[in-house]
Amino acid sequence: MTQSDPEPIYLTACGGKIKNTSEYPSAEYHGEQIYFCTQACLDLFLLNPDPFMAGEVEHPLDEG
């Protein structure tokens, strides 16, 4: 019996850890795919990507 490789873990823009990237919103940033915990985070990122990625923008706590 062979041992399967562990499922890769991806980091979100706000430092969260996810496994199934298809369940999370994403966008390309400087040629790299970036994942977001919520659609609200992605929406805020799209308004102003550089400050968001630099940690200068407070991430929304919920969808609303």
> What is residue 1's predicted lDDT score, i.e. its pLDDT?
47
DSSP letter at 55 equals T
Structural domain boundaries in the chain: 10-53
Compute the average pLDDT of residues 7-22: 87
Nearest Cα residue to 29 out of 5, 7, 4, 46: 46
Compute the average pLDDT of residues 34-58: 93
> What is residue 43's predicted lDDT score, i.e. its pLDDT?
95
Q: pLDDT grade, residue 57 (50/70/90)? A: confident
> What is residue 4's predicted lDDT score, i.e. its pLDDT?
67
Q: pLDDT grade, residue 30 (50/70/90)? A: very high
Collapsed DSSP state (helix, strand, coil) of residue 33: strand
